Amino acid sequence: MSVLAAELGRLREANLYRSRRILEGRQGARPVIDGRSLIAFCSNDYLGLAAHPALIAALKRGAELYGVGSGGAHLITGHSAVHHALEEELAAFVGRPRALLFSTGYMANLGVISALAGRGDKVLEDHLNHASLLDGALLSRARLSRYAHADPGALRRQIGHDRARLIATDGVFSMDGDLAPLPELAATAEHHGAWLMVDDAHGLGVIGNCGRGSLEHFGLTDAQVPILVGTLGKAFGTFGAFVAGSEELIETLIQRARSYVYTTAPPPAVAAATRASLDLAQRETWRRERLRVRIQRFRTGAARLGLPLTASETPIQPLIAGSAHRALAWSRHLENRGILVTAIRPPTVPEGSARLRITFSASHEEAEVDSLLEALSELPQEDRGI
């Protein structure tokens, strides 16, 4: 244990130690954290649905009908009628023949890649993909090759004359907020006879006129992107994940995805709440419009201040600090002003790119966006990279 203590000490000295905060009460744009009311600009509750009364009511009704726990894996006794109904509704939402629920997005990515690729196969992934996509390739024991971020040319060079089994990418990158060049990736996948897998965790519900994500944004079909992964704990405000695709894909995952076969199904009451959130996300289009307005207000104000934002039009607006020490100092400054934005540091992001990962919700008021800008304006100019 002394070895572990030494390593923890090293993390503290390097400003890389992570600590949990205690949320009291409901999730939302104005949570109570460690006993203090703050304005949060770091949640993934993009549409402001996590504490919506309709979801809470649906969760209660679901618990009354189905109980609390699912009691077993989907393939034993855990696959309830409400799970099945949600899968059908998710498939219809994204325009795919079928969808399959997973307990988490991490488990979905592990399950898909390890079920579809193995020894002797080649899997290519964006260098900035989410850890779950990278871990899925490692678990599969396929040959993993990582191409330069959002660079289709680098992807083509790395494929070379090899036969690629799978190309996997985030749709919206979780730390940078930019979109993958999906049309070019789809063309490359088709040319090389590979499957393209898109994890659209941060796009679904938010991107596209109907909220169907980055594939809708680019007008891509299920033939071009045969494997779509989405999560339910971000824009949809609940918990879990799903994979959508062909009949053959879903049946293969039911047979071979270990993270689906060998785990307890999610609570059916959560599936009931997700059905309510999916309905709201489709009907209440004003949520996406209001979110876009908030993002644009922030980016316009940030440009006036000379803040070095990345080229993101999504709710994820990174402010690059560089060092972990500086990112922590920025985060503390904001918290002293009543604003919560956590510092993101290595290994979550590459060395030298520690940042504030500022995120927006449809629940934010214009005045709160202005308060954030005012607090950021108080950073010393040399500390803003100006």
For 174-223, what is each residue's pLDDT tens digit?
Answer: 999 999 999 999 999 999 999 999 999 999 999 999 999 999 999 999 99
* Domains in the chain: ranges and CATH: 18-47+285-384 (3.90.1150.10), 53-283 (3.40.640.10)
**Mean pLDDT, residues 48-63:** 98
Q: Which helix (H) or strand (E) holds 262?
A: none
Read off the pLDDT of residues 356-375 as tens digits, 9 standing for 90 and up: 999 999 999 999 999 999 99
Tell me what pLDDT residue 386 has. 43
**Mean pLDDT, residues 322-338:** 95
**Mean pLDDT, residues 143-172:** 93
Which DSSP category does 173 fall into?
Answer: -
Separation in Å, CA 368 to CA 232, 289, 309 = 26, 17, 19
Tell me what pLDDT residue 385 has. 54
Judge contact between 298 and 360, C-beta under 8 A: yes
Question: What average pLDDT does the chain have?
Answer: 95
Read off the pLDDT of residues 280-315 as tens digits, 9 standing for 90 and up: 999 999 999 999 999 999 999 999 999 989 889 999
Q: Which helix (H) or strand (E) holds 252?
A: helix 247-256
Judge contact between 15 and 325, C-beta under 8 A: yes
Which DSSP category does 288 fall into?
Answer: H
Active site residues: 174, 202, 234
pTM here is 0.95
Percent helix, strand and coil across the chain, each rounded to 5?
Answer: 45, 15, 40
